[in-house]
Amino acid sequence: MNWGVYEAAIRRWEAVLGRPTPHPTQPGNHGRPVLAPAFVEHLMGLPEGWVTDLSLPRTAQLRALGNGVVPQQAAYAVALLLADLAELLDITTDTDHRPPAGQEVTAA
């Protein structure tokens, strides 16, 4: 498949997930191409078959995927919220008391 200007991004995502990108379309009821749920599942970074192995019609699979959350985005959002909470509560999560790189400690 020729991904055009998206080729590099598609190949990077394949490397991250460790599997090839499925075809973006599949034949619809009337023979015309329609969006393939497996492609959406792949783009979201979900495990293969996470939604598409369920015995749901294609439209229900797409609805579930559309209402879903991209795991990497969710993890990033939680990390940002936890950092903000730590700052609000004035919690230091750094248990290593070494000075930042490039700074020396002098003996008293």
The helix/strand/coil state of 15 is helix
Do 11 and 2 form a contact (C-beta atoms < 8 A)?
no
Runs of H (alpha helix) within 47-106: 58-66, 71-88
pLDDT tens track, the chain, 108 positions: 899 999 999 999 999 999 999 999 999 999 999 999 999 999 999 999 999 999 999 999 999 999 999 999 999 999 999 999 988 898 765 555 555 555 554 444
Q: Where are the beta strands (DSSP E) in 1-108?
A: 25-27, 33-35
pTM: 0.74
